[in-house]
Amino acid sequence: MQTRRIGNAEVPAIGLGCMNLSHAYGTPPDTETATALLHKAFDLGVRHFDTAALYGFGANETLVGEAIKPFRQQVHLASKCAMTGVEGVRVIDGRPETLTRTLDEALTRLQTDHIDLYYLHRWDKNVPIEDSVGALSRAVEDGKIGAIGLSEVSAATLRKAHAVHPIAAVQTEYSLWTRNAEIAVLQACKELDTSFVAFSPVARGFLTGAVTDPAAFAAKDIRRNMPRFQEPHFSSNQRWLNEFADLAKTENCSMAQLSLAWLLSRDDHVLPIPGTTSIAHLEDNLAAAEITLSAEVIGKLDELINQTTVSGPRYPEATQAEIDTEEFA
């Protein structure tokens, strides 16, 4: 697989988002099944594994830490702080003392003495970004983390943080149907030599064609509360999905592969991290790195799926208020 740089590491261009092995999309797989998928990802060449304290309220870090222990030194391990579970409730807390405690807890769960890339999962708007990044910079000095990342921040916040300590990566939702990064932060990352890690690169499954009935989502599936999976937005977005499927057939690839190949074409500092609980889907996703799209196909995709053709905001109002990413007018 082609490689791209993140921090001081060179990793295969497509990594693995580990969230749905423990969190967010209904009942997660059992430990044996999840571990088998993580091992298969390594066997297939994945070296960038992404987890967080929030996922399963620590359960995902525990899962990943145990699974990758045999090859820990061969992988680039990323995790996140500042959004965690406290007594079963999701809390955003970016105070330096909280970040320090969360990091120590993460190191224990991950069974490692350092985390290669540690993100602020969300900027706590009650705490200056400089204070939160300052705490993480001290963790870099102590050797507990290798590099600092930010998630769901604007270009302005990125620049403020970068003035305190170099920011190795920004992680934000980015796909054909979520283009907010193109407003400013993608370019800011390029200017600051910061990698851009794209989560939900296949639109939480929508761009694979697998989501046909949101009513069938599990009770705890977070997509139930996302406007794009609710009416009238869901039906509106399905109107262009068939044409997208036809384009994938023309390119002799799956819809997921077409989505990921488009992302890889954006720039060489963009690294998608699709997540899955299926080894078949894992294999399909990773094969996208071998696909090269023509300028004509990229142009068709940009015209078909963009901020003007996609219906509905990506988050409900309460969640939207928690993020700092730029929004289209």
Q: Give the catalytic positions in this structure.
A: 55
Task: Measure the CA angle with vertex 275, ends 197 and 13; round to 5°.
Answer: 45
Single out the residue of 224, 250, 247 nearest to residue 301, CA to CA. Answer: 247
2 vs 83: CA distance, rounded Å: 32
DSSP 299-323: HHHHHHSSTTTS-S-SS-HHHHTT-
SS3 166: coil
Place of tokens 């219906």: 311
* Cβ density class 60-87: b for 16+ within 10 Å, e for less: bbbbbbebbeeebeebbbbbbbbbbbee
SS3 115: strand
Single out the residue of 163, 175, 129 nearest to residue 270, CA to CA. Answer: 175
DSSP state letter for 29: P
State the amino acid at position 211 in one-letter form: V
297 vs 293: CA distance, rounded Å: 6
Longest dimension (CA), the chain: 54
Residues 6 or more apart from 100 whose CB is under 8 A from it?
135, 138, 139
Indicate the angle between helix axes 96-110 and 129-141, nearest 10 degrees.
40
